[in-house]
Amino acid sequence: MVANQVLSEVEYRVVGKRPVRPDGVDKVTGRAQYGSDLRLTGTLQAKILRSPHAHAEIKSIDISAAEAYPGVRAVITGKDLPLSAKLANAAPGEISDSDRQRMGFQANNFLAGDKVLYKGHAVAAVAAVDSNSAEAALALIKVEYEELPPVINVKDAMREGSALLHENLHTSSLGETSEKPSNVASYMLFEKGDVEQGFAQSDIVIEREYETASVHQGYIEPHTATAHWNADGQLNIWCSTQGSFVVRATTSDVLQYPISKIKVTPMEIGGGFGGKVTCYQEPVVAVLSKKTGQPVKLVMSRTEVFEASGPAPGSWMKVKLGANKDGKLISGKVTLAFEAGAFPGSPVLPGSTCSLACYDIPNGLNEAYDVVVNKPKTAAYRAPGSPQAAFAVESLVDELCQELNMDPIEFRLLNASKEGTRKVEGPVFGKIGLIECLEAARNHEHYKTPLTGENQARGIAAGFWMNRGFHSSCNITVNQDGTVNLTMGSVDIGGTRASISQQAAETLGIEYSDVKPTIVDTDSIGYTMVTGGSRTSFATGWAAILASEDVKQQMRERAAKIWETSVDDIEYKDGVISHQSDPELQFTFAELARQLNGTGGTVTGQANIDPSGEGNSFGVHLVDVEVDRDTGKTKVLRYTAIQDVGKAVHPSYVEGQMQGGAVQGIGWALNEEYFFNDNGHMMNSSFLDYRMPTALDLPMIDTVIVEVANPGHPYGVRGVGEVPIVPPLPAVASAVSRAIGVRMQKLPVTPGSILEALW
């Protein structure tokens, strides 16, 4: 077996090393404070009444008995949300139709309006002195429903005559809006070249359909939020979130309340993977707190997490590929239809743009449908949209390789995207590392080792994510002992306290241990986008670099003041500040830090950045499986994940991202799914029945870190968190297909589906 490898281009002093994470001790000793750990004096406990139906009109709600129950301090419904009240009381023409629809969708996912649109949809909320009283009060709320037929899958929802979720939803299609209401919220299309002519020129053309189920991100910590609306009008919120500024903005919108009066403090987060970008509770507990004058806390149960927070969408997809007899791709057409859940906004657009990104194909067409169904509103899940699209495209590529009798890595090398390749939707790739990843896979001992067992096979797949930049802010303050305090607004999910501190230490020329990182509330730092999209080490790291450069310039100015010379005579290099014409005059960073108070006071550097140049990421995964033809059970024998990361700031955490994403993708491929009955009720809303892989189900995930430096970042960094979940779906499905001799076109590939295919 080959251990984890790093194929490195450049070595740095701190960046690229493996120091201890700053938050490690608190987390392993239990001192770290998560959302449910918060204890404010006088806190009330909140509970949510949720719909027992997947689709129904709300005819009436009677909360009087609940309000009278001992210990209950407040009961609210959707009418108590200020945004809903604004819509109800607006004069004709005061709010545009598009704004009315958008605002209605936003408010109704917190507390339902006239309809419930999925089982678990929030209908009312209670705040009481304890959880038992709140639960008892929920049972006293009388809701009269008129059930409607549910639509629980994307193909059914798109059919003519299907039950409509929203009577006012019309398809937005290429700048036009349909006259008839529909469950199709939007249609998008991108085209390059002439696909039909390309198919006519191809020696081999294959077309297939694929499906995937809804899956959950599987974070261990449930959603939690506490709000305290002070008597002076200041609203404080503490919550588990990937983006405190998103919580602030959403709460401001729903409450119709000034952002300046809302402070959001992110607690430690027990996993998110994109699922904690969306808000579910914060405006609700805020309204309850305002009504009671006390802090209010709400913690979801595990069932509520499954039934009422956002999974990754189920999908239906069709892919058609054409190639010549030598294996050169000529044309490709990809159709994606994704479930948005109860309200529009699935990740079908990024899925579409990722679908053919691994291939330099002259003729391509991507079309995408965003479709509402009676399920919870979908949310992000690592590279949202890309895993489903990759499952379809890479599965067909594997079938094409078999038809051509061609090595799957050689096929991909022949067709791989590279610098200068134009994607179907328009952008041209800069410096990327897909070819380097494919070559690393071809040269890996895993790929060279033949399989010897019966019913064993190997799957190979590539994956892509565009990565993101977006806004980040960072402040660095120099302490008198030569350490620095680094404050930032990026929530730490995967070790970014360490990776951002490393970039600051590298830039300042000081020790990593001398950087003290702190994640602060929305009042204490400039606007910072969510931790997601593989942006944090890239963008917030760059903000830390710029703040460090600001500190360096100020330190040069202080040294110039002490030595009574021009700042142009002062050099800052590797943490040493020196006089260029008098080598005896120099300070270490710590020595100069001790003299700052006598030269003008504390030095604080700051940076606000919205960087471009994020650099795209690619990965290639290898997997060996063995299928028991009698039981349908699939055993993963060996797995290797290879990825271009630009520069691994902290290789251990990069490896962790690669391994974690691979494991989640394996679960998506083999086990995980939201299972609904005909009434739209999820039947496996617990970790006992929703089967995620455990350590007993998997081999060690080997990793190969490929470093093709991103020219858009000072240290060559690319985001790493998204790509690892993309290749596992097609790699595993292709391996199983090769092992049993039947193409598996629907996920998850369960023992039952394998036996059906074999029979």
Same domain, 260 and 291: yes
- Alpha carbon distance 109, 115 (integer Å): 11
Based on the fold, state whether residues 249 and 125 are members of the same structural domain.
Answer: yes
Residues 600 and 687 in one domain: no
Q: Mean pLDDT across the stretch 570-582?
A: 96
Give every CB contact of residue 176 below 8 A, 6+ residues apart in sequence.
none
Is 70 exceeded by the pLDDT of residue 738? yes
Contact status, residue 275 vs residue 215, Cβ threshold 8 Å: no
Q: Is residue 8 part of a domain?
A: no
The answer to whether residue 82 sits within a structural domain is yes
Residues 231 and 379 in one domain: no
- Which residues share a beta bridge with 485? 477, 516
Q: Nearest 5°: phi and psi at 256?
A: 50, 50
Point out which residues pair with 6 in neighbouring strands.
705
Is the model's pLDDT at 6 over the cut of 90?
no
Q: Which residue, among 317, 350, 360, 335, has the nearest Cα to 192 in the 3D structure?
A: 360
Of residues 125 and 4, the one with the higher pLDDT is: 125
pLDDT value, residue 517: 98
Dist CA 513 CA 502 (whole Å): 9
Same domain, 449 and 501: no
Each residue's pLDDT tens digit, 393-410: 999 999 999 999 999 999
Whether pTM > 0.95 for this model: the answer is yes
Decide if 438 contacts 412 (C-beta within 8 A): yes
Mean pLDDT of 385-399: 98
* Strand order, beta sheet including 44-50: 72-77, 122-128, 44-50, 296-299, 224-229, 235-239, 262-266
The C-alpha atoms of residue 570 and residue 560 are separated, in whole angstroms, by 7
- From the list 424, 194, 201, the residue with the least C-alpha distance to 322 is 201
For 132, the domain range is 35-148+217-308
The answer to whether position 195 is within a domain reads no
- The two beta strands, 315-323 and 296-299, are unpaired
Query: Is the predicted pLDDT of residue 297 greater than 60, yes or no?
Result: yes
Q: Which of 274, 308, 342 delimits the end of a domain?
A: 308
Average pLDDT over residues 178-188: 97
Cα separation, 564 vs 578, whole angstroms:
13
Look at residue 121 in the predicted model and tell me its pLDDT. 98
Q: Amino acid identity of 226? A: T
Using CA atoms of 623, 748, 224, 241 in order, give the dihedral in degrees to the nearest 10: 50
Confidence band, pLDDT 50/70/90 cuts, at residue 366: very high
Q: Are 21 and 495 in contact (CB under 8 A)?
A: yes
Burial label, 428 (beta-carbon count in 10 A; 0-12, 13-18, 19+) = exposed
Greatest alpha-carbon span in the chain: 88
Mean pLDDT of 671-683: 97
| Residue 379 sits in the same domain as residue 525 | no
Tell me the β-bridge partners of 641: 621, 703
Cite the DSSP H helix spans in 637-723.
651-670
Q: Pick the closest to residue 275 from 236, 313, 226, 315 (CA basis).
A: 313
78 Cβ contact partners less than 8 Å away, ≥ 6 residues apart = 84, 107, 108, 110, 111, 112, 113, 123
Three-state DSSP class for residue 160: coil
Is residue 270 in a domain?
yes
Residues 272 and 367 in one domain: no
Mean pLDDT over the full length of the chain: 97
Q: What is the pLDDT of residue 583?
A: 86
Do 483 and 552 have their domain in common?
yes
Query: What confidence category does residue 69 fall into, taking pLDDT thresholds of 50, 70 and 90?
Result: very high
Domain boundary (308, 342, 376) is at: 308
CATH of the domain at 101: 3.90.1170.50
What percent of the chain has a predicted confidence (pLDDT) above 90? Answer: 98
End-to-end CA distance of the chain: 36
The answer on pLDDT for 221 being more than 90 is: yes
- In this predicted model, what pLDDT tens digit does every residue of 505-531 receive, in sequence order? 999 999 999 999 999 999 999 999 999
* Contact by Cβ (8 Å): 266, 521: yes
**For range 450-456, the mean pLDDT:** 95
pLDDT of residue 710: 97
In a domain, 179, yes or no: no
List, in sequence order, the alpha helices (H) in 19-118: 24-29, 64-68, 82-89, 97-108
User: Stretch 365-389: mean pLDDT, rounded?
Assistant: 98
Identify whether 674 is part of a domain. Answer: yes
Side chain identity, residue 138? L
User: Of 262, 281, 308, which residue sits at a domain end?
Assistant: 308
Q: Report in angstroms the alpha-carbon separations of 270 from 308, 670, 674.
A: 18, 24, 22
Shared domain for 48 and 72, answered yes or no, is yes
The DSSP result for 238-279, as a single string, is EE--S-HHHHHHHHHHHHT--GGGEEEEE-B-S--TTTTSS-
Residue whose C-alpha is closest to residue 589's, from 504, 519, 649, 650? 504
Number of domains in the chain: 3
Cβ 614 vs Cβ 718: under 8 Å: yes
Residues 120 and 254 in one domain: yes
Half-sphere CA count of 442, side-chain side, radius 13 A: 13
Both tokens assigned to 318: 């069709």
Q: Same domain for 577 and 621?
A: no
Instruction: Name the one residue in this structure whose structure tokens are 């009278």.
Output: 68
Strand partners, 626: 456, 635
Task: For residues 169 and 16, give the distance between their C-alpha atoms in angstroms, rounded to a whole number.
Answer: 50
Q: Is the pLDDT of residue 376 over 70?
A: yes
Residue 16 domain-assigned?
A: no
Round to whole Å and give the CA distance between 257 and 238: 17
Q: Does some domain include residue 749?
A: yes
pLDDT of 7 above 90: no
> What is the SS3 assignment for 228?
strand
- The strand ranges marked E within 489-579 are 515-519, 570-573, 576-579
Same domain flag for 400 and 448: yes
Contact 751, 633 (CB under 8 A): yes
Distance CA 378, CA 372 (A): 10
Q: How many residues does the structure list for the chain?
A: 759
Helix (H) or strand (E) holding 388, with range, is helix 386-404
Q: How high is the pLDDT of residue 4?
A: 82
Question: What is the mean pLDDT of the segment spanning 475-489?
Answer: 98
Cis, bond preceding 748 (omega within 30 deg of 0): yes
Spatial strand order in the sheet of 582-588: 570-573, 576-579, 582-588
pLDDT for the residue 2: 53
Q: What amino acid is encoded at 339 in this protein?
A: E
Alpha-carbon distance of 148 to 165, in angstroms, equals 9
Q: Which amino acid, 211?
A: E
* Angstrom distance (rounded) from CA 574 to CA 552: 11
pLDDT digits 0-9 by tens, 577-631: 999 999 899 999 999 999 999 999 999 999 999 999 999 999 999 999 999 999 9
pLDDT in tens, 14-35: 999 999 999 999 999 999 999 9
- What per-residue confidence (pLDDT) applies to 3? 64
Alpha helices in 416-532 (DSSP H): 434-443, 445-448, 496-508
Q: How far apart are CA 119 and CA 108, in angstroms?
A: 14
Compute the distance between CA of residue 420 and CA of residue 90 in angstroms, rounded to an integer. Answer: 52
Pairing of strands 235-239, 262-266: parallel
- Tell me the CATH number at 518: 3.30.365.10
Structure tokens at 279: 């808000």
Angle between helices 496-508 and 541-563 (to 10 degrees): 30
- Contact status, residue 413 vs residue 327, Cβ threshold 8 Å: no
Q: Are 247 and 237 a contacting pair, CB within 8 Å?
A: yes
CB-based burial of residue 325 (10 Å sphere; 0-12 exposed, 13-18 middle, 19+ buried)?
exposed
Distance of CA 330 to the CA centre of its chain: 33
Per residue in 266-282, pLDDT (tens digit) is 999 999 999 999 999 99
β-pair type (5-7, 701-706): parallel
In 177-224, alpha helices (H): 195-201
